[in-house]
Structure 1
Amino acid sequence: MKNKELKLFFKYWMDARESQYLGKACAMAFSWRESLEVRRLLLWLLFLTTWEAGSGQVRYSVPEEAKHGTFVGRIAQDLGLELAELVPRLFRLASKGRGDLLEVNLQNGILFVNSRIDREELCGRSAECSLHLEVIVDRPLQVFHVEVEVRDINDNPPVFPMTVKKLFVYESRPPGSRVPLEGASDSDIGANSQLTYSLNSNDYFTLAVKRSDEEIKSLGLVLKKFLNREDTPEHHLLITAVDGGKPELTGTTQLKITVLDVNDNAPEFERTVYKVRLFENAPNGTVVVVVNASDLDEGPNKDIVYSFNADMPADTLSKFHLDPVNGYINVKGNIDFEDTKLYEIQVDATDKGIPPMVGHCTVLVEILDTNDNIPELVIKSLSLPVLEDAPLGTVIALISVSDRDSGVNGQVTCSLTPSVPFKLVSTFRNYYSLVLDSALDRESVPSYGVVVTARDGGSPPLSATASVWVEVADVNDNAPAFAQPEHTVFVRENNAPGRHICTLSARDPDAQENARVSYSLVERRVGERALSSYVSVHAESGRVFALQPLDHEELELLQFQVSARDAGVPPLGSNVTLQVFVLDENDNAPALLPGGAGELVPRSLGAGHVVAKVRAVDADSGYNAWLSYELLQPAAAAAAGGARGPFRVGLYTGEISTTRALDEADAPRQRLLVLVKDHGEPALTATATVLLSLVESGLAPRASSRAPEGAAGAPTALLDVNVYLIVAICAVSSLLVLTLLLYVALRCAAPPGEGEGAGAAGKPALVCASAVGSWSCSQQRRQRVCSGEGPPKTDLMAFSPSLPPGPVNGDREEQLGVDVDLSAKVSNFFILSKMTLFLHVSTPLETF
């Protein structure tokens, strides 16, 4: 292996972090025909270098002053991104400071120089200079950190403070004495700023360069032999400074040295270099140092005046003040560590001799940092609002922090306000990502005020805050919900078509379209007709209307479901059950049943015998179906002075019985007019005509045979009826007790959390108001009535009859008492059956 090739390989190896040198190093390692161990060693070194480079962030290198379009790196390929997804995913660059220096071609993914890069303008004299880029892509949000090192080139020549400098040197100055000079400065770094000096050839002066511990070069003229003002009053010298760059750049300054006569001794300082430390932000008037010089001469030649050297920079002169008599150097301006960390002050001590002589010293003031800069917070690339179903780890915002202080004072830590579902994740140096740490629920908390606090490590620490308002975007995760699963409303029959029944309302805690609720019927069949022919619901308001008049006799209960559905994607919905009870109105007159219109009555019947019965029914229910019977006196009886007739009719039974014993004076044909009337408002009536023929007992065997049976068998019939009533009452009572026990058992077995279900006890059922008035349902029980589409009526109402007053004999009083007792028992039985609400009675009333 040749030494030249080995050197070239190591050059590529040192630059292997840059992609253009990596391939060259690999090619050379495989092409050498040396021993296997040598090749393995070289490849191992190359692997370590590339692994170290790949383990961190993507790094590139570019020289300063590169032309527009200069290739930097294939950033898309190095970040693992496909070229086709750069534009759809909104590939973009973001950098701290100037963001237009570098650009990416979205067609080929190449990072190139976009505008002039001046390293000295970006980083000054700093040894490291890099551009920190943030590559941001969306869908999903990803952040990559790219560091582009800006390499220095030798583009700045050395510069002296003055192009022509005038010096005054006494002719009596001994050889070897040194005249200090201000050296040149170079804005470049490294080898490009390493300066060498040369002096044009002459007989009297030579150039001396000394390097101090602080890497500060002290430049001076050293006198080689005595000067003779009479021979040469002025000397013109040229000092040239050459930097170490390639190609080399030079700077020059001319020295005009005037030879002075007389003075023997120049003032001398105690120390040639004073080193002091000063905290930044020291108040004006603070004493930095006291310089002291002495002169061996006598008289005025011994008096010394202190002054700053004429070559001092204006910035240094604005920061410090020198007492010309005592040599005190005081602070007079703002001392900022972040601006300047070290001041080099040249102090001259000039005596008052003629000509005056000058002594020189250097004061090095090192500025110490204090914690006087608060951290800086910058929040960018916000991904707002955040969906409430966003997965954990979703990046919300990017945050960068910085502190101009150094050391511990510049170390910044970030924290969040407590009790927020977010956290900070450190991504790269002083960069943080605000990410989702726990699940969101917009219905509980629609937005969060997140306060980011950055605190440095100084004593006392300084902090800064920045606020981020995170809005939580809604997703359709809540279905519309009704206040309760079942609603009850009462409507009178014969309503007007299109009448408003009630209004249903469902609440959806979502927002916007996800909370816009529409209502619809859950279609089903009601008998032979569709539900939509009876009722309709307004899609937006939830108002329920009856499309046609309802008939209690046809339909007592209309039970159906209404669906509430939101406008989300996908839509969510829920149902509510609506029970519409159709209340009865007195719209049906009593109807007479056939039979009992003509009877043969034996004249031998005594008082209290039933001779006929009027049968009538009413299609209504409740009070509207409760019938009463009244015997209308014929006109002849009324004309006869209102004499009482031989017959009467039971008020609630319709039975026609004798009021007295029949005699020969009674007409053989009796025509009775019975008025049947219900208890509705207003009451409806019907009339029945009953024809009775009074015959002798021998002419009517049936009548004569029935009379004794009616007279003697009445107690037996009543006894049988009482037995039946007792059996029925016991059966109904047993059924009621069994029902109550079953209900209590189910309530005790119900789990404690089912209070909100359809069968929850203790929760009152909502009843809508209707035109019939205000109705309410008990909070302890819920009435259940089956829909009637043809079965017999289930609600029976019985009342204790009040017989019309009138004089009766002893037999009649006894018979009347039996009738009243029988009627009362029948009434109690019907009231008990009304309480159970489930007993179906189809047997005609007259069987009792």
Structure 2
Amino acid sequence: MGSGQLHYSVPEESQHGTFVGRITQDLGLDVGELVPRLFRMVSKDHEDYLEVNVQNGILFVSSRIDREVLCAQSPVCTIYQEVILDKPLRVFHVEVEIRDVNDNAPVFSESEEMLSIAELTVPGAYFPLEGASDADVGANAQLKYKLNSTEYFVVEEKINDRHSKSLVLVLKKPLDREKIPMHHLVLTATDGGHPELTGTVHLEITVMDANDNAPIFNQSVYKVQLLENVADGTLVIHLNATDLDEGMNKEIYYYFSKHVSPNVKNTFSIDSDTGEIRVKGKMDYEDINLYDIEIEVKDKGTPPLSGHCNVIIEIMDINDNNPEVTVTSLSVPVSEDSPLETVVALISVSDRDSGTNGQVNCSLWPPGLPFKLVSTFKNYYSLVLNELLDREQVAEYKLVVTAQDQGTPSLSATSSLVVPIGDVNDNAPAFSQPSYTVFVKENNPPGAHIFTVSASDPDMAENALVTYWIDEKLWPLSSYISVHSESGKVYALQPLNYEELKMLEFKVSAKDAGLLSLYSSVIVQVFVVDENDNAPTVSGPENTPILLVVPLAVGQTVGKIRAVDADSGYNAWLRYELHEATSDGPWRVGLYSGEISTTRVLDETEGDAGSQSLLVLVKDHGKPMLSTTATLSVSLVVSAQVIHTDGYLSRAGGSSKPLEENTNVYLIIAICSVSSLFLLAVIVYVALRCQCQPKEAVMYGPGTATLVCASEVGSWSYSNRHSHILAGTTAEVSAKNDLMVFSPNIPAFVENGDVRNGKEMAPNSSGQIHNRDIRHQMQPTGIYSNDYTNANSDELLGP
């Protein structure tokens, strides 16, 4: 093994199965790895004369090899093989030399050759003979010639200045036509093989009289160089021969010897009169680069005499063949996690020209590709990975392999390769933002689509197929929210009630379908937006009589209506009106306080004494507006009335003392009534406070009663909310007494899960509520406090 290849030899005509060599042993390979690594032997220019037994790694002859058919007269006949293994890809080069055996006898072109020799020819003159040809090479083609016994002629082989041999018949003694007019000779050719093989030709030599001077060329050999692309008609050489005779014996004409092949006659022409040789056909250096033409000249004497010379035409190569690029093996697609120096393709280049015209350089285009060409053997290259790949940046590379020779002008050839990059799951699904905030109006229909989460994966095929799910370790979430595993659509499974549940916080996870799945998650916060779905309710018993003593001053407060609304914000902002109130009526109600006071002085002279029923209408500010009514009974007692002990009221003219005693009795009754009403109000207030005390903080539990300021002037009303915050995290959410302050600006929300302007309310790590801006700030602003302060039973702090 040397120079990166193996060299074997085998004789031609070997039988099928003839042992050539142990190729696996010589290459250092294990026989057991031939089949798994897809062992194969490729021959580029020859038939499959050789084969390898993959069971034992022996190279043997698979079909008959005729060296003469395979390589003609080439002195060295070699079969070139490429041994290729995959995983990893490796290439070995094998040369098998075909040794010649002596299986071809010498052959003359004709079985009989006739010559005419003048009797005056001096001894030592020679006459060219066509030698025999032997299809073998080397010693098997080295021929020896011998004539049968004769005293007039011998056969010799002359070596010219080109170091080539030519066969001649040499005259040993003068001829005498009268003695022997014709000589019959047998020329035998013997090769140097073992055993020797022979061939014969019969020579008929006619002895001619008279014309005893033959034409003679001034040179025996002429050498000419021609470019292979010369035009038809180009003059090659002008031959000149002379004859010392006179008259007809001196006139000469030129012609190609009968030994010249038809190919030469198709390529060149000769003028018989002038001796000019011109180009007749197309020449190709790659087919024939040297012509050895035998020219004969004869005179017109009787008998005619002839002379001979050789014209050697050397064809000069020009750069007229483009290089050839062949991709012998292409391993695609190339995985994006392939290591450096990974072999992608095997490339071979060739050029039929010679010299610098056949020297080829190989390059890649465009520049900057993550590949490079590595020369592995003469005119063989490997396309290997030079940089790490990333399919998400470039999914496919289109590259051009250019082969350029060094001729003038230079010629080139290209071969385009497309190298797709195979994907691996190296990218996790990614959400467009770290968290989502969604506002949903309460009382939504069951199964309503409220939002869509979407994660993208730059991988491809199953590596980019994303599925979604909600972490259901916290069991309450499954009854409220579900997510579609393929589309990422989030659905509300049941109607949401703001008074019970004000926020849902959960985690949506996404994973791809790769072999080793990658994950990511996002927090989704769903805020329930209040709707006006609760009418105001009046707290405390209705129709409780109020006993008043007239006269009463203007603006004197006689009572107060207390109402609450389970909604929040503007939906819980209450206003009070007297039903069917008249402009001259004695009563009025505070628009936002619910306090009932007098509009004028009440006096017995006006007929105001007696019992009256006031119907108060309580409305909220929601859309649509909801309302309720409350009835208040007022009893008026005249201060001048006198109560007798017998139960009759004394008028003017009666005793003053019984009147004072009756008056005291009524005052005591009035005071007791007012005290009872006040005590009842205190009891109701304490009971409501006890109901609203926060319970133990749980993940899923009641919210707090929220005090809402909904008036531009700072009036206050109560809104008892039984609310929840349901979070899909492990942090506890504590219920608190909240104080919420709202400005009169109304927030704008979009249904179906879309968010416009809003401020997100989210629990912090301690379970308290804090404000966090989302997208843009909005109104109303929610301020949560642990408790609130009630300055008086009828009066609260301003905004």
* TM value normalised by structure 2: 0.80
Deviates more, 1:681-690 or 1:697-706: 697-706
Q: Judging changes above 3 Å, is the alpha-carbon distance between structure 1 residues 294 and 55 closer, same or farther for their aligned structure 2 residues? A: closer
Residue 530 of structure 1 pairs with residue 484 of structure 2: no
Residue 783 of structure 1 pairs with residue 759 of structure 2: yes
Q: Judging changes above 3 Å, is the alpha-carbon distance between structure 1 residues 768 and 470 closer, same or farther for their aligned structure 2 residues? A: farther
Equivalent position to 1:607, from 536, 554, 562: 554
Shift of 1:231: 2.7
Q: Give the whole-Å Cα distance in 1 for the aligned partners of 2:620 and 2:546.
A: 26
Partner SS, residue 535 of structure 2? coil
Q: Judging changes above 3 Å, is the alpha-carbon distance between structure 1 residues 450 and 225 closer, same or farther for their aligned structure 2 residues? A: same
Q: Contact 1:504 / 1:544 at 8 angstroms: preserved in 2?
A: yes
Deviates more, 1:571-580 or 1:95-104: 571-580
2:516 maps to 570
Q: Give the whole-Å Cα distance in 2 for the aligned partners of 1:55 and 1:320.
A: 44
Partner SS, residue 315 of structure 1? helix
TM-superposition CA deviations, 1:641-677 (whole Å, max 9, x none): x574433221111122232333233334443322221
Letter in 2 for 1:328: E
1:674 maps to 616
Letter in 2 for 1:661: V
1:468 maps to 417
Shift of 1:605: 4.3
Letter in 1 for 2:556: H
Deviates more, 1:290-299 or 1:685-694: 685-694
Residue 349 of structure 1 pairs with residue 297 of structure 2: yes
Partner SS, residue 571 of structure 2? helix
Residue 429 of structure 1 pairs with residue 378 of structure 2: yes
Residue 214 of structure 1 pairs with residue 162 of structure 2: yes
TM-superposition CA deviations, 1:702-727 (whole Å, max 9, x none): 978999xxxxxxxxxxxxxxxxxxxx
Letter in 2 for 1:586: N
Equivalent position to 1:234, from 172, 182, 194: 182
Q: Contact 1:794 / 1:839 at 8 angstroms: preserved in 2?
A: no
1:408 maps to 356
Q: Give the whole-Å Cα distance in 2 for the aligned partners of 1:404 and 1:259.
A: 52
Shift of 1:350: 0.3
The within-5 A match list for 1:438-449 is: 438-449=387-398
Q: Judging changes above 3 Å, is the alpha-carbon distance between structure 1 residues 239 and 489 closer, same or farther for their aligned structure 2 residues? A: same
2:429 maps to 480
2:286 maps to 338
1:370 maps to 318
Letter in 1 for 2:103: D
2:649 maps to none
1:646 maps to 586
2:24 maps to 76
The within-5 A match list for 1:447-596 is: 447-525=396-474, 529-594=475-540
The within-5 A match list for 1:289-304 is: 289-304=237-252
TM-superposition CA deviations, 1:15-67 (whole Å, max 9, x none): xxxxxxxxxxxxxxxxxxxxxxxxxxxxxxxxxxxxxx456323222222222
TM-superposition CA deviations, 1:183-210 (whole Å, max 9, x none): 2233333323222222222121101111
Q: Judging changes above 3 Å, is the alpha-carbon distance between structure 1 residues 174 and 168 closer, same or farther for their aligned structure 2 residues? A: same
2:597 maps to 657
Deviates more, 1:483-492 or 1:96-105: 483-492
Q: Judging changes above 3 Å, is the alpha-carbon distance between structure 1 residues 317 and 488 closer, same or farther for their aligned structure 2 residues? A: same
1:619 maps to 566
* Structure with higher strand content: 2
2:707 maps to none
The within-5 A match list for 1:115-154 is: 115-154=63-102
Q: Give the whole-Å Cα distance in 2 for the aligned partners of 1:391 and 1:134.
A: 26
Q: Judging changes above 3 Å, is the alpha-carbon distance between structure 1 residues 576 and 175 closer, same or farther for their aligned structure 2 residues? A: same
Q: Give the whole-Å Cα distance in 1 for the aligned partners of 2:573 and 2:290.
A: 116
Letter in 1 for 2:255: S
1:817 maps to none
Shift of 1:564: 2.4
The within-5 A match list for 1:1-80 is: 53-54=1-2, 56-80=4-28
Q: Contact 1:669 / 1:691 at 8 angstroms: preserved in 2?
A: yes
Q: Judging changes above 3 Å, is the alpha-carbon distance between structure 1 residues 55 and 769 closer, same or farther for their aligned structure 2 residues? A: farther
Partner SS, residue 136 of structure 1? strand
Q: Judging changes above 3 Å, is the alpha-carbon distance between structure 1 residues 213 and 611 closer, same or farther for their aligned structure 2 residues? A: farther
Q: Give the whole-Å Cα distance in 1 for the aligned partners of 2:496 and 2:334.
A: 53
Shift of 1:473: 2.0
Equivalent position to 1:268, from 216, 222, 227: 216
Q: Give the whole-Å Cα distance in 2 for the aligned partners of 1:65 and 1:686.
A: 120
Q: Judging changes above 3 Å, is the alpha-carbon distance between structure 1 residues 59 and 264 closer, same or farther for their aligned structure 2 residues? A: closer
Letter in 1 for 2:171: L
Letter in 2 for 1:378: T
Q: Give the whole-Å Cα distance in 1 for the aligned partners of 2:180 and 2:795.
A: 163
* Structure with higher helix content: 1
Q: Give the whole-Å Cα distance in 1 for the aligned partners of 2:69 and 2:207.
A: 42
Deviates more, 1:370-379 or 1:682-691: 682-691
Letter in 2 for 1:630: E
Q: Contact 1:238 / 1:252 at 8 angstroms: preserved in 2?
A: yes
1:17 maps to none
Partner SS, residue 785 of structure 1? strand
How many residues matched? 685
Partner SS, residue 784 of structure 1? strand
Q: Give the whole-Å Cα distance in 2 for the aligned partners of 1:787 and 1:688.
A: 39
Q: Give the whole-Å Cα distance in 2 for the aligned partners of 1:604 and 1:776.
A: 58
Q: Give the whole-Å Cα distance in 2 for the aligned partners of 1:494 and 1:580.
A: 14
Q: Contact 2:550 / 2:603 at 8 angstroms: preserved in 1?
A: yes
Shift of 1:249: 2.9
Shift of 1:568: 1.4
Q: Contact 1:502 / 1:769 at 8 angstroms: preserved in 2?
A: no
Shift of 1:352: 0.6
Deviates more, 1:541-550 or 1:191-200: 191-200
2:633 maps to 691
Shift of 1:328: 0.8
Q: Give the whole-Å Cα distance in 2 for the aligned partners of 1:134 and 1:667.
A: 128
Q: Give the whole-Å Cα distance in 1 for the aligned partners of 2:293 and 2:749.
A: 96
Shift of 1:510: 2.0
2:643 maps to none
Q: Judging changes above 3 Å, is the alpha-carbon distance between structure 1 residues 553 and 524 closer, same or farther for their aligned structure 2 residues? A: farther
Q: Judging changes above 3 Å, is the alpha-carbon distance between structure 1 residues 702 and 385 closer, same or farther for their aligned structure 2 residues? A: farther
Q: Give the whole-Å Cα distance in 2 for the aligned partners of 1:157 and 1:769.
A: 105
Letter in 2 for 1:443: E
Letter in 2 for 1:478: N
The within-5 A match list for 1:390-409 is: 390-409=338-357
Q: Judging changes above 3 Å, is the alpha-carbon distance between structure 1 residues 668 and 102 closer, same or farther for their aligned structure 2 residues? A: same
Q: Contact 1:414 / 1:454 at 8 angstroms: preserved in 2?
A: yes
Q: Judging changes above 3 Å, is the alpha-carbon distance between structure 1 residues 54 and 221 closer, same or farther for their aligned structure 2 residues? A: closer
Q: Give the whole-Å Cα distance in 1 for the aligned partners of 2:779 and 2:552.
A: 37
Deviates more, 1:505-514 or 1:461-470: 505-514
CA RMSD of aligned residues (A): 2.9
* TM value normalised by structure 1: 0.76
Q: Give the whole-Å Cα distance in 2 for the aligned partners of 1:124 and 1:769.
A: 91
Q: Contact 2:113 / 2:201 at 8 angstroms: preserved in 1?
A: yes
Q: Judging changes above 3 Å, is the alpha-carbon distance between structure 1 residues 692 and 391 closer, same or farther for their aligned structure 2 residues? A: same
1:759 maps to none
Q: Judging changes above 3 Å, is the alpha-carbon distance between structure 1 residues 281 and 55 closer, same or farther for their aligned structure 2 residues? A: closer
Q: Contact 2:550 / 2:609 at 8 angstroms: preserved in 1?
A: no
2:719 maps to none
Q: Quick one: percent identity of the two aligned structures?
A: 57
Q: Judging changes above 3 Å, is the alpha-carbon distance between structure 1 residues 792 and 343 closer, same or farther for their aligned structure 2 residues? A: closer
Shift of 1:421: 1.9
Q: Give the whole-Å Cα distance in 1 for the aligned partners of 2:779 and 2:353.
A: 94
Q: Give the whole-Å Cα distance in 1 for the aligned partners of 2:78 and 2:756.
A: 81
Q: Judging changes above 3 Å, is the alpha-carbon distance between structure 1 residues 606 and 704 closer, same or farther for their aligned structure 2 residues? A: farther
Where structure 2 has 5 or more consecutive residues not aligned to the other structure, the ranges are: 640-662, 675-747, 772-776
Q: Give the whole-Å Cα distance in 2 for the aligned partners of 1:470 and 1:560.
A: 45
Q: Judging changes above 3 Å, is the alpha-carbon distance between structure 1 residues 834 and 308 closer, same or farther for their aligned structure 2 residues? A: closer
Q: Give the whole-Å Cα distance in 2 for the aligned partners of 1:768 and 1:625.
A: 18
